[in-house]
Amino acid sequence: KVTPAGMVTTLAGLAGTFGAANGTGSVARFYLPYGVAVDSATNVYVADSGNYTIRKVTPAGAVTTLAGLAGNYGSADGIGSAARFYYPYGVAADANANVCVADYANNTIRKVTPAGAVTTLAGLAGNTNSGSADGTGSAARFNSPYGVAVDSAGNVYVADTGNNVIRKGFPAISAPVIVASSPGFSGGQFSFNLTGPAGQTVVVEASSNLVSDWLPIWSNTFGVGMLPFGDAQTGVFSQRFYRARSP
């Protein structure tokens, strides 16, 4: 650790001595640590590449193994010591203390939660699966990714070393699912029921041609149960199309 004034101290580990031991300060051991990242609580995360693990160091220098098992490489997702890495090089912490890992020899980008749960964000493990394809999840390909960074919006940036490019990954967007059911006529009005997540706003739009001129005609917020919708202008139009969406 280097302070703004240039004061250098050893946070964890012992110079010239390698190993995999957890512990505080000089009791801890690392083996070819490459990448390092810091979260908002000033915990430090280390890509301990020679041990094939991701380590966590508290501000007081207490070292634990967050994910992976020292001396055991692989590509398995899992929790804590059940997960496997193959020369993890780059690490970056997001706003929620999740750690993104550039898993160099697996050609993948991994994610480790604060509880140590490891998933593969992008790429497909294995030397035969290296490449430069864009895509979602396992459809993407990397070639020896080395560095990784995360911005405040959760976008992930990768130094894709073997491809000589910088890649960008976008966080998955979970759109609310709104379901329409039981269409028919009630009281002279065309009607249907809408179901969606509680607290979600829904807007019903109408169009005369299904292609353009979609205009909002009704909105409401889901609570518990279904929302009934009825079009008071049913008799005004010779034909009318509807769609329900979140705003």
Q: Which residue has the higher pLDDT, 165 or 208?
A: 165
- Residue 62 is predicted with a pLDDT of 98
SS3 for the chain, per residue? CECCCCCECCCCCECCEECCCCEEHHHCCECCEEEEEECCCCCEEEEEHHHCEEEEECCCCEEEEEECECCECCCCCEEHHHCCCCCEEEEEECCCCCEEEEEHHHCEEEEECCCCEEEEEECCCCHHHCCCCCCCHHHCCCCCEEEEEECCCCCEEEEEHHHCEEEEECCCCCCCCCEEEEEEEECCEEEEEEECCCCCEEEEEEECCCCCCCEEEEEEECCCCCEEEEECCHHHCCCCEEEEECC
pLDDT higher than threshold 70 for residue 173 = no
- Residue 175 is predicted with a pLDDT of 64
- Residue 212 is predicted with a pLDDT of 76
- Residue 224 is predicted with a pLDDT of 85
The 10s digit of each residue's pLDDT in 9-47 is 999 999 999 999 999 999 999 999 999 999 999 999 999
pTM above 0.75, yes or no: no
- Residue 167 is predicted with a pLDDT of 97
